[in-house]
């Protein structure tokens, strides 16, 4: 298997998508990839963060996580995005990050990146699939290769069976409702596998 460089790029306000990102990192490393986990820049005012105890605590706990830049995309052979839904769409923090990659896109540096995505919402039909598909629309413009999990492993059914990418419900207690760790790791390994084929010229 060709050596694959994977960037896990996430946005998380209270920690759910950060946890998904860390599981993706673990799964990709098990598959032999070189991995970096980076977060997109925060856009919310500090007052909004401070007013939500869970948001404030997560922000402080992940202060040392590097902030994503265009260099991370250029470096990576593959990218896994993890982002919460906002009204059935990609959170504005992630959207702005994607929107600022015009320079990379114009120079052809997003072409053939292998990409996959994960999402979360506060209820099972809160827009998780729409969020992933919305992100994939941008990836099609990039000329990227989408590595969706489909139904390639039984572990996906136990996690809710989302063929577009792992998605999870965050309960009112702040904890994940579904057990998705195995599905996330499978998705990461599948992404690395497909990327290794692209890197090897297959």
What is the per-residue pLDDT for 78? 98
Cβ–Cβ < 8 Å for 144, 112:
yes
3-class secondary-structure state, position 142: helix
DSSP 67: B
Treating both helix axes as pointing N-terminal to C-terminal, what angle do 16-30 and 181-199 enclose, rounded to 10 degrees? 50
3-class secondary-structure state, position 170: strand
Alpha-carbon distance of 131 to 19, in angstroms, equals: 18
Please, what is the average pLDDT of the chain? 95
- The first and second tokens of residue 158, run together, are 């136990």
User: For the chain, what percent of residues have pLDDT higher than 70?
Assistant: 99
> Sign of the CA dihedral 107, 130, 189, 10?
positive
- pTM greater than 0.85: yes
User: What's the whole-number mean pLDDT along residues 164-185?
Assistant: 91
Strands (E) in the chain, as ranges, are 5-10, 34-39, 78-86, 89-90, 114-121, 145-146, 167-169
Per-residue pLDDT reduced to its tens digit, 33-80: 999 999 999 999 999 999 999 999 999 999 999 999 999 999 999 999
Domains of the chain are 5-199 (3.40.50.360)
Strands (E) in 110-164, as ranges, are 114-121, 145-146
pLDDT beyond 90 at 87? yes
pLDDT beyond 70 at 202? no
Measure CA of the first residue to CA of the last residue in the chain; give whole Å. Answer: 11
């Amino acid at each position: 298997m060709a050596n694959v460089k994977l960037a896990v790029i996430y946005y998380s306000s209270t920690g759910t998508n950060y946890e998904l990102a860390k599981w993706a990192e673990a799964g990709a490393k098990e598959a032999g990839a070189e991995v970096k986990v980076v977060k997109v820049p925060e856009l919310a005012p500090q007052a909004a963060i401070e007013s939500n105890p869970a948001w404030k605590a997560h922000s402080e706990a992940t202060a040392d996580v590097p902030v994503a830049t265009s260099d991370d995309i250029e470096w990576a052979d593959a990218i896994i995005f993890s982002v919460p839904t906002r009204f059935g769409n990609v959170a504005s923090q992630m959207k702005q990050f994607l929107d600022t990659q015009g320079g990379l896109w114009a120079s052809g540096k997003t072409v053939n990146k292998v990409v996959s995505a994960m999402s979360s919402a506060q209820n099972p039909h809160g827009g998780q699939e729409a969020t992933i598909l919305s992100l994939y629309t941008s990836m099609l413009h990039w000329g990227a290769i989408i590595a969706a999990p489909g139904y390639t492993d039984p572990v996906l059914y136990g996690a809710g069976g989302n063929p577009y990418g792992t998605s999870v419900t965050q309960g009112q207690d702040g904890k994940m409702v579904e057990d998705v760790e195995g599905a996330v790791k499978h998705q990461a390994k599948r992404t690395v596998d497909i990327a290794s084929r692209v890197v090897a010229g297959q």
